[in-house]
Structure 1
Amino acid sequence: MGGRGLRAARTARGWSQDRLVREIQRYAEKRLLDVATTASLRVYVSEWENDRRALSPRYAAILRPLLGVTDDELRGDSAPAQPLLTDGYGDLLSRIDSARSMSQSMVKTFMDQTELLRTMDRQMGAAGLVDQMTGHIAALEDALTFAVLPDARKPVAIALAGAATLAAWQALDAGAVERAWRHYELGKRAAQEGDAPMYLAHAMGEQAYVLCDAGRPELAVDLVRDAQRAGGQRLTPRLRAWLYAAEAEVCAKAGLPDDCRRALDQASTCLPEGEDVRDPDMLSIFLNHSHLARWRGNVLASLGDADAVESLYASLAATDPTFVRAKAGLHCDLTQAHLVREEFDQAHDHLRQARLLANRTGSVRQRRRVDQLTERM
């Protein structure tokens, strides 16, 4: 029945079974949902995790956004693919015709939906969006599957590349590493079909973080440099700067301080001047010189550079308050920087803030970093 999936998602957040019960009750109370009593929920959680009780659709609908997992991940299994019936030509042709007649306005609707999900993710975290994101990706994959000719497939493929890369980052934030990797691979394939090297380079650059988090920073360095080559001359200046900053970060993790500082300088040189933050050709890229200063502080802190603190405080003061996950990262960076300077009171204060913000967004990735910093205190 898949109890291992629920147990894995719960423990990834560091929650006890009692904590999960409380979170179920809090979630239900906010949404005026009826759930069992505390005593009954404790029994249910134990029985779900030990495969002694089937997880009902009603509770699955609560647990998915609460834990940031898909239904398959929650239940620890995969649904079998549905075969295409031999007598289903009428339905097949109907879907092909529908895809063929898909207008640019429909593609724009897909892109707008991705943008809405990106905004919600930035402010609330990824966990609660898992159902919406899963449905969005499925709809785009379906549209691409039944689009026959290149002129119909290309715009859908580009829309899918952007959505899949966002879904991958959300999955990584929620601790669903395999799902993140698969979404990045989907985003790369879609970008290649859509002849969109910027989307391909961005997916590869973000995918490098999976390798870095997994303890393979040297391979991450190779991948992000391949991303730069894949984009070639078709990269926008802002995206090129983003890739150099990403290279600097993974070089720091790989123990390559000279390469790291060189990449930071290249990022600063490429980045356009001004306060504009978004790349009009790659809406997933948010980067100006204030953001880059924060990134530089993060990288220098990871190298143990004592001068990182000033840069990080300036970035914290300038950070958009809606970038909740980014603020959690900044407080982690400041914790690390103060630890290097042996300023333990300040480090404790920032670690507390980081923990609060990581819990607010449900970010497993940030919580893992908080736990790692806690071990150093």
Structure 2
Amino acid sequence: MGQRLREARKQRGWSQERLVREISRYAEQHLTDVASPASLKVYISEWENGRRAVSSSYALILRALFGKTDDELFGAPEPAAADGYDELIGRIDSARSLSLGMVDTLLNQTELLRSFDRQMGAAALVDQMRAHLEALEDALTFAVLPDARRPVATALAGAATLAAWQALDVGAVERAWRHYELGKRAAAEAEKPMYLAHAMAEQAYVLADAGRPEMAVDLVRDAQRTGGTKVSPRLAAWLFAAEAELCAKAGLARDCREALDRAAAALPADDEARDPDMLSIFLNAGHMARWRGNALAMLGEDDALAELYVALERMDPAFARATAGLRCDLAQAHLARGEFGQAREHLQKARLLANRTGSVRQRRRIERLTGRL
């Protein structure tokens, strides 16, 4: 248990003293009672050395601060003993009574979590997201007939893909990968090629972050083939834009530009950002300018800055994490031009946003760019 907690703390770059301050700050903001700073320092040392169990109240705080589950912080619990057929039949009956209205409620909960994620970041939502996925997985596990399973599988596909992106954002890479696999299985069962293609394309970013951009390009192209003609125009544009970004990471300049052109051609001409057929997709001309500028900046193109500043002007301030990423893109573009002062200014603003949302992924990128100043 202690080793996992220590690793989570070090992953954030926090000392034990910093963790004491963060726990105290969380308690003050949420009107929760915790021990004194001196006692907390002792508790943390004992937790990390396995000499003290973490109580449920402190586990809640630690989950929120690190954006990790109990299993990731403290180890998996002992499996419960089987309760026999009575419990099984009870669960099957409960799943059978799951109405379309209940599925709509679960979809609405996913949407609420997505809205909170855009503004607050993923770290604060780990408990809610875990409970939401468990409810959907249980409903699917014990639903028997296809007509009952498909709506739940659709809801699970969307929720699992969102949970995967959140896990990637807080640095829980293995959890992200497993959630993407769950989302893909659910999308396949639901017979929803759009959901499957989206999950595959997002999963490609895990490979790119892990240093395998060429494999990521192959996966996003496979996602395009999987979606085929059954994807919406906005999702098709999103898939091409994702390909362009991953090609840029892989150093495939020509392929990147061709994918950007295909994305621009596929994108609907209206100003709408939300895809009514795929609610997780936000893409319009403003978002596309950011994506194009990011890819061109990675290629060292001179016109990247103009695209990125257009995107910054159009950026919805509610998209805090995306804004942090855009600031990083601008810093990268300025660095390529040797404009260190402007790069430093954007990185400072990006750091504030990344700290606010608890984005480990963005902070890692900020530190990499800061090392080039």
TM-score, L = length of structure 2:
0.98
Once residues 140 and 301 of structure 1 are traced to their aligned partners in structure 2, the CA distance between those partners, rounded to angstroms, is 40
Q: 1:212 aligns with which of 208, 211, 224?
A: 208
What amino acid is the match of 1:167? A
2:89 corresponding residue in structure 1: 93
Deviation at 1:306? 2.1
2:53 corresponding residue in structure 1: 54
Describe the shift of the 1:226–1:83 C-alpha distance in structure 2 as closer, same or farther (beyond 3 A). farther
Once residues 98 and 41 of structure 1 are traced to their aligned partners in structure 2, the CA distance between those partners, rounded to angstroms, is 43
Asked if 1:227 is matched to 2:226, the reply is no
| 1:13–1:367 Cα contact (<8 Å) kept | no
Q: 1:78 aligns with which of 73, 76, 79?
A: 76
Deviation at 1:213? 0.1
Could you list the runs of 5+ residues in structure 2 that have no partner in the other structure? Answer: none
Deviation at 1:46? 1.7
Once residues 153 and 79 of structure 2 are traced to their aligned partners in structure 1, the CA distance between those partners, rounded to angstroms, is 22
Q: 1:304 aligns with which of 292, 300, 307?
A: 300
Once residues 13 and 354 of structure 1 are traced to their aligned partners in structure 2, the CA distance between those partners, rounded to angstroms, is 17
Asked if 1:131 is matched to 2:130, the reply is no
Give CA-to-partner distance per residue, 1:255-288, whole Å, 9 cap, x none.
1000000000000000001110011010000000
Q: 1:289 aligns with which of 285, 289, 302?
A: 285
Once residues 86 and 42 of structure 2 are traced to their aligned partners in structure 1, the CA distance between those partners, rounded to angstroms, is 49
Matches for 1:167-182 after TM superposition, within 5 Å:
167-182=163-178
SS at match of 1:283: strand
Once residues 364 and 137 of structure 1 are traced to their aligned partners in structure 2, the CA distance between those partners, rounded to angstroms, is 22
Asked if 1:18 is matched to 2:17, the reply is yes
Once residues 301 and 268 of structure 1 are traced to their aligned partners in structure 2, the CA distance between those partners, rounded to angstroms, is 18
2:314 corresponding residue in structure 1: 318
2:27 corresponding residue in structure 1: 28
What amino acid is the match of 1:276? E
SS at match of 2:51: coil
Matches for 1:249-260 after TM superposition, within 5 Å:
249-260=245-256
Q: 2:149 aligns with which of 137, 150, 153?
A: 153
Deviation at 1:98? 1.8
Q: 2:162 aligns with which of 161, 166, 172?
A: 166
Give CA-to-partner distance per residue, 1:188-247, whole Å, 9 cap, x none.
000000001100000000000000000000000000000001111101010010010000
2:243 corresponding residue in structure 1: 247
Deviation at 1:90? 2.3
Asked if 1:358 is matched to 2:354, the reply is yes
What amino acid is the match of 1:97? D
SS at match of 1:376: coil
Q: 1:327 aligns with which of 319, 323, 326?
A: 323
Give CA-to-partner distance per residue, 1:290-332, whole Å, 9 cap, x none.
1001110011111111221111111111100100000100110
TM-score, L = length of structure 1:
0.97
Q: 1:112 aligns with which of 108, 114, 120?
A: 108
Once residues 95 and 233 of structure 2 are traced to their aligned partners in structure 1, the CA distance between those partners, rounded to angstroms, is 34
SS at match of 1:285: strand
Report % sequence identity: 70
| 1:225–1:247 Cα contact (<8 Å) kept | yes
Once residues 3 and 164 of structure 2 are traced to their aligned partners in structure 1, the CA distance between those partners, rounded to angstroms, is 22
Deviation at 1:101? 2.1
Once residues 95 and 29 of structure 2 are traced to their aligned partners in structure 1, the CA distance between those partners, rounded to angstroms, is 39
What amino acid is the match of 2:298? S
| 1:224–1:243 Cα contact (<8 Å) kept | yes
Could you list the runs of 5+ residues in structure 1 that have no partner in the other structure? Answer: none
Once residues 165 and 7 of structure 1 are traced to their aligned partners in structure 2, the CA distance between those partners, rounded to angstroms, is 28
What amino acid is the match of 1:31? H
SS at match of 1:284: strand
Once residues 9 and 248 of structure 1 are traced to their aligned partners in structure 2, the CA distance between those partners, rounded to angstroms, is 33
Deviation at 1:81? 3.2
SS at match of 1:201: helix
Give CA-to-partner distance per residue, 1:86-122, whole Å, 9 cap, x none.
xx32222222122112111000001000000000000
Q: Which moved more, 1:49-58 or 1:262-271?
A: 49-58
Q: 2:233 aligns with which of 232, 237, 250?
A: 237
SS at match of 1:272: coil
1:263 corresponding residue in structure 2: 259
What amino acid is the match of 1:334? L
What amino acid is the match of 2:49? N
Q: Which moved more, 1:50-59 or 1:205-214?
A: 50-59
Deviation at 1:82? 2.8
SS at match of 2:281: strand
Give CA-to-partner distance per residue, 1:69-95, whole Å, 9 cap, x none.
0011111x212433433xx32222222
Once residues 338 and 47 of structure 1 are traced to their aligned partners in structure 2, the CA distance between those partners, rounded to angstroms, is 46
